[in-house]
Chains A and B, each alone.
Chain A
């Protein structure tokens, strides 16, 4: 069933309708180049806290953006009004801006038309999900927590979007993208346990299993001790690994690299992390949120970013790529970090290997401290434990860390196979859980 068939539901813009909207612009544009972008989103979230529904929302927002260029003078305007008059007015606004804009030496015409890959970006069960389904899933998590006399806070959300790009040179792409999300914080007095998931299919969120896992963590966290800050071996669960790797991905831009203002300056082709680690873009992977194309109209394809610890790829804008004579621009919207060699089965197996270590469920509020070496800071959150002789012996108060992923991922002791990971501050990735040596916790907080 497509979203358009659900009774009472707003109909999202189809490929044919987007082509019609785009033609309204492209046929009237007097610019040398014109690009039309579509983002038509229908999304809903059921939010709960203290084991009751505190927010329950549903929003339909359609946006059309028109970008035009006269020579290299460019302007962009957008609207949420899809009437013909408003779309044409948006074109006129973009043209007015471009006509008085200075020339942009980095301007490039839109990419040539091409055949885009078609990963499975939309799942009917997610597109069809409405408030009742979201409420049902939220109630499942709340109910399990109530049985344990614990407090639940979290969200269940589902969305479906029609996304498209069309240009005056014939470039055209449109696809439907769905996404379901679940996250849960279980509170057991002062202790918390957390879990999160995101998937194209709302039915793949494994709400029952994840809720039990968060309950288990919260209950384990009731007896807490404070440890001194310092260097510890750590077992990072996948969400914690993803939190650190996200900052690697966000700082790989090629322009900064070329201008010497990148933490990776001079490192292309060199080993930057443990030689067993490989980072790829896998937009066709069923458990990642891959897409068929980018907003600019470039194809999303498999790409190798780090191979056996060696930096192979940078995040190129089209101008820098042309300058560097890059034939193809790699994207990284569906990252998968894997490690070669014998892998542990689960995080529990990593715990069994440790004589003494800190187990970190998740990091929170990660920010750059030093952009030159990518030193980051952040806090542990929602499940930080002391591991002794292969088992969790107590919860510990949360730490602040100061570390660079460029340093700590050279100190990998063991790892699992990559698994799904998502946090409130990062996109979705596949990453292993890992044991790292000498991770620096700089201070401790009060809980």
Chain B
């Protein structure tokens, strides 16, 4: 689909929307290409090449929302979809006890392109499958490693956003990721250890720089060490968490509660609400003074740094938690005014042309401190150092959480000793973040992210990046999982 034809379709749709008397309308036309190569147990199990294209029209009519979408990209389909969106919005308006109003946003006309050195879709397929098979062979050469899995993933989105306010935005966005896992068995138990690149908006150079083959032997031997390791003894431990692990902890215990639509009850029936209710903003001590959580949708390569969100709002950087105090939300043009803000933070995103945009967690990261990782460990008498993601669960208001991890080491008198298994820590979000007494410096900062963040009905997958340096938490409750 050329942009010329897409503009023609957009023009046709928005003219019909405007003629209906609607106060606002927009259209997103999207063509996505995805490639996923996955392998298990030394074989390439599937190679999937996906093309997904279509358009969605969103209408705000007399304060009521309507949205209709279709995968039929034709000038004949546009009137049906635009008129249906208007009809649905009229129905919503007929029951509207409170009219939806959008906060202002300047008109933008721009083009956003992901910068990359190696287009992942131009890398020969056999080069990728050879790499993945070599990695699986390397993992399964380790005695006691009984299973392996690998994957490479890439996606390109060509998108055109046009609104009745005059905003017109073109996007050519890329994202890439790769990972592998070894599973070892011992004494009737089994355990896995993984290596993953972050999901980033860059090219195949991310995979090349990750050097899978250099890490595979370490991951395999740690899988074996992990399955043979002693189970953790329940109790209170100091925890030192690595950036990959913290990405998930931040996502669940800070990211979701800072979504304003949740705090206002929009997700009460599914993803849940939030303990960070509006009256707490500016007064609630979320964490210790070491805890600075910043939303930054402007950092290059990160998943939510798309230039503009699906409201056509420019990406921004703002504070969520400043020196431990809760100060900010992720918002869109609909909900921003409900907490007295005059501009959206630009966090409204849809996962496809067929989905309506909803408030999404921004690229929320933990700001670096001043310590080194060795400094953080040195001051631990009895603790656990945790890397990577494991089991995770949190209540629907984001208070009570529990996290596992991918690898655990006992820390005694400032030194990492042997590995542990079955480590689970749990707590209450603000108590946990108030127990943070040190964050490592910028040299330790790493970025990890998610493309499967579930929210909304119908369900959508959100994309965002969370950066952090290592951080230390005192006297956290640990149980055996």
Residue ranges of A at the interface with B (Cβ–Cβ < 8 Å): 8, 10, 43, 45, 47, 49-63, 74-82, 90, 93-94, 97, 100-102, 104-106, 131-132, 135, 139, 142, 151, 153-155, 157, 183-185, 187, 192, 194, 259-261, 265, 364-372, 375, 377-379, 381, 398, 400, 402, 424, 442-447
Contact = CB atoms under 8 A, between A and B. Distances in A.
Interface pairs A-B: 8 shortest CB-CB: A445-B400, A153-B268, A80-B71, A369-B481, A153-B269, A185-B269, A77-B49, A59-B354
A23 B379 CA distance: 70
A131 B189 contact: no
Contact of B133 (A58, A100, A102, A424): A102
Interface residues of B, number: 81
Contacts of B50: 77-78
A142 B97 CA distance: 11
Given A81-B51, A184-B269, A260-B185, A444 B43 contact: no
B479 A402 contact: yes
Contacts of B71: 60-63, 80-81
Interface of B: 41, 43-54, 56, 64-73, 80, 84-85, 87-89, 91-92, 95-98, 124-126, 129, 133, 146-147, 183, 185, 188-190, 264-270, 272, 275, 354-356, 358, 391-397, 399-400, 402, 404, 422, 424, 426, 428, 456-458, 479, 481
Given A49-B266, A442-B479, A57 B391 contact: no
Contact of B399 (A80, A371, A445): A445
A49 B190 contact: no
A375 B391 CA distance: 11
Contacts of B53: 79-81
Given A56-B65, A370-B481, A365 B394 contact: yes
Given A53-B96, A59-B69, A369-B404, A78 B51 contact: yes
A367 B393 contact: yes
Given A52-B96, A55-B356, A375-B481, A261 B395 contact: no
A57 B43 contact: no
A369 B49 contact: no
B183 A261 contact: yes
A109 to B, nearest CB: 16
A217 to B, nearest CB: 14
28 contacts: A53-B64, A55-B67, A55-B356, A56-B64, A56-B89, A56-B91, A56-B92, A57-B355, A60-B70, A61-B70, A62-B72, A75-B49, A76-B47, A76-B48, A81-B73, A82-B72, A104-B45, A132-B91, A139-B95, A187-B268, A365-B394, A365-B396, A369-B391, A377-B481, A398-B395, A400-B426, A424-B269, A443-B426
Nearest to B424: A369
Given A58-B69, A76-B46, A100-B125, A53 B84 contact: no
Contact of A90 (B51, B84, B87, B125): B51
Chain B binding surface SS class: mixed
A131 B87 contact: yes
Contacts of B41: 259
A183 B268 CA distance: 11
Contact of B458 (A93, A157, A265, A366): A157
Nearest to B481: A369
Contacts of A8: 80, 84
Given A58-B67, A59-B69, A261-B146, A49 B422 contact: no
A303 to B, nearest CB: 25
Contacts of A444: 400
Contacts of A135: 91-92, 95
Given A154-B269, A192-B268, A57 B88 contact: yes
Contacts of B458: 43, 45, 57, 157
A265 B189 CA distance: 10
Contacts of A157: 457-458
A441 B252 CA distance: 21
Nearest to B96: A52
A350 to B, nearest CB: 25
Contacts of A105: 43
Given A78-B50, A106-B43, A52 B356 contact: no
Contacts of B84: 8, 58, 131
B51 A79 contact: yes
Contacts of B147: 259, 261
Given A153-B269, A446-B400, 6 more contacts: A50-B265, A53-B95, A151-B265, A194-B269, A379-B393, A447-B397
Given A368-B391, A400-B402, A94 B190 contact: no
A79 B1 CA distance: 13
A132 B89 CA distance: 11
A445 B395 contact: yes
Contact of A155 (B91, B396, B457): B457
B193 to A, nearest CB: 13
A252 to B, nearest CB: 16
A189 to B, nearest CB: 12
Contact of B269 (A97, A101, A183, A259): A183
Contact of A56 (B66, B73, B190): B66
Given A56-B67, A153-B265, A445 B457 contact: no
A328 to B, nearest CB: 23
B49 A97 contact: yes
Nearest to A370: B481
Contacts of B89: 56
Contacts of A260: 146, 185, 190
A10 to B, nearest CB: 7
Contact of B428 (A62, A155, A259, A446): A446
Contacts of B457: 45, 47, 55, 155, 157, 183, 424
Given A10-B80, A60-B72, A153-B269, A52 B49 contact: no
* Residue with the greatest number of chain A CB neighbours at <10 A, chosen from B48, B96, B267, B275: B48
A49 B265 contact: yes
A365 B146 contact: no
Given A59-B68, A259-B147, A445-B428, A49 B269 contact: yes
A415 to B, nearest CB: 27
Contact of B395 (A61, A102, A379): A379
B393 A377 contact: yes
B233 to A, nearest CB: 16
Nearest to A379: B395
A100 B64 contact: no
A184 B133 CA distance: 48
Given A52-B96, A57-B68, A80 B124 contact: no
A366 B126 contact: no
A51 B268 CA distance: 11
B88 A56 contact: yes
Contacts of A381: 395-396
A284 B461 CA distance: 32
B441 to A, nearest CB: 33
Contact of A100 (B124, B354, B481): B124
A381 B399 CA distance: 13
A88 to B, nearest CB: 13
A47 B66 CA distance: 11
A366 B393 contact: yes
Contacts of B404: 369
A51 B391 contact: no
